[in-house]
Amino acid sequence: RDHQDPTWTSPPSYCFVAFPPRAKDGLVVFGKNSARPRDEVQEVVYFSAADHEPESKVECTYISIDQVPRTHAIVISRPAWLWGAEMGANEHGVCIANEAVSTREPAAETEALLGMDLVRLGLERGETAKEALDVIVSLLEEHGQGGNYYEDASSCHSFQSAYLIVDRDEAWVLETIGKYWAAEKVTEGVKCICNQLSLTTKMDAEHPELRNYAQSQGWWTGEDEFNFSEVFSPADDHLDCCAGKDSLEKQEESITVQTMINILRDKASGVCIDSESFLTTASIVSVLPQNRSSPCIHYFTGTPDPSRSIFKPFIFVDDVKLVPKAQSPCFGDDDPAKKEPRFQEKPDRRHELYKAHEWARAVLESGQEQGHKLRKTMLELEKQGLEAMEEILTSSDPPDLAEVGDLFYDCVDTEIKFFK
């Protein structure tokens, strides 16, 4: 492996959470920038809750596993070739995002569950953040993690994974090495995770064999205090994590949806990546009101580069209108990602929203007068959505369900028409 080649390092995604009182108005605010190979398309997909036959299986990206009797409704942002998700939420107000992390132990190339599959499985099966955590670690124990993180026939890039799992009350930071793991519970302040291990000596739950395993590898003497990141990080890793940590901690005001969007748009800090190998291909911001009578709101871009994208709101209701324009074409069993050997060709996975947005990206990059005008109008569109949501959160009346069911659909539709 050529370690100078940046694609071998884990992509620099960032995940954030802020709790009241650091976050405003009793809202928990969650966000992620998903850094992926530059040309990869992410789609935003809703799956309704479903009951499943006993003994049925679910086909994840590379392997099939036992299905559960019932899966929750979810909305996810995912690379269009795989089954799982980079980030998303379920109907119970659980949000999960993952990170590929570099650790002392190389990840298995053998096809198993991907970190992204575990994000989706946690959302489908967990009613609280803690329940989702338990789902993920028990599936890790049973099936392990491994396989190619990229749609790439020429080489297998596999990574260990970390997760930020959040609900209205608490968050869990879960970091994994193979089937081994440790987790920390967070209920206040702010937290950022990135592509390096972050847990140190405060662990609220861990794999029962974690410390024995570290000792058996010669990574821990058993004498010193057990520091997860020091034990499992690659020797050459400088644990300065996060550009993200600074962005979040130096916010003087209380943190709102808008603050989180601004942090995700920041290229100067490195949180919004736009490099030769990687691009922020999609972003999410969620607000989870601690007051249960208010709905959770999830904003997705569905397009690359948040500094040139519009965050569009989604709210779970029984009758959500599907948004095919933010969904990639489906190639069924003929998909080269599903056939072995995999990825022998790369189909065009761009959805309608992505294609319309490509025009906008080109105009914005030109930096001309037209670009400035366009940016202004895009922010104007976004602001209308944000203000409408603010109203739903502050109003004492429940929102109009029919309107809410069409919300994401209408925003995507408006955006596409506008780009045309």
Q: Indicate the helix (H) or strand (E) that contains 161.
A: strand 160-166
With a cut of 50, say whether residue 1 has pLDDT above it. no
**What single-letter DSSP state applies at residue 254?**
P
Pairing mode, if any, of strands 14-18 and 87-90?
unpaired
With a cut of 70, say whether residue 5 has pLDDT above it. no
DSSP strand E in 19-93: where?
Answer: 27-37, 42-47, 50-51, 57-59, 64-66, 70-71, 74-79, 87-90
Contacts 24+ apart (CB under 8 A), 45-53: 45/75, 45/76, 45/78, 45/326, 45/327, 46/73, 46/74, 46/75, 46/314, 46/320, 46/322, 46/323, 46/408, 47/71, 47/73, 47/74, 47/75, 47/76, 47/124, 48/73, 48/320, 49/73, 49/91
Percent of the chain with pLDDT over 90: 89
pLDDT tens for 183-220 read 999 999 999 999 999 999 999 999 999 999 999 999 99
With a cut of 60, say whether residue 108 has pLDDT above it. yes
With a cut of 90, say whether residue 158 has pLDDT above it. yes
Bridge partner list, 376: none
In the Cβ-directed half-sphere of 224, how many Cα atoms lie within 13 Å?
13
Arithmetic mean of pLDDT over the chain = 94
- What is the second-level CATH architecture of the domain 14-419? 4-Layer Sandwich (3.60)
- Helix, strand, or coil (residue 145): strand
pLDDT band at 9 (very low <50, low <70, confident <90, very high): confident
**Are the beta carbons of 274 and 308 closer than 8 angstroms?**
no
The two three-digit tokens of residue 238, written as one number: 């400088």
* Per-residue confidence (pLDDT) for residue 244, from 0 to 100: 78
With a cut of 90, say whether residue 251 has pLDDT above it. no
Percent of the chain with pLDDT over 70: 97
Domain ranges of the chain: 14-419
**What single-letter DSSP state applies at residue 107?**
P
Phi, psi (rounded to 5 degrees) for 378: -60, -45
* Per-residue confidence (pLDDT) for residue 235, from 0 to 100: 78
With a cut of 80, say whether residue 154 has pLDDT above it. yes
Alpha-carbon gap, residue 400 to 223, rounded angstroms: 60
* Per-residue confidence (pLDDT) for residue 398, from 0 to 100: 84
Q: Which of 353, 355, 343 is nearest to 81 (CA)?
A: 343
**Range 168-191 average pLDDT:** 97
* Per-residue confidence (pLDDT) for residue 238, from 0 to 100: 59
Q: pTM of the full predicted structure?
A: 0.97
Alpha-carbon gap, residue 49 to 91, rounded angstroms: 9
- Catalytic residue of the set 15, 60, 192, 242: 15
Phi, psi (rounded to 5 degrees) for 56: -80, 160
The answer to whether 296 is a known catalytic residue is: no
Alpha-carbon gap, residue 376 to 412, rounded angstroms: 18
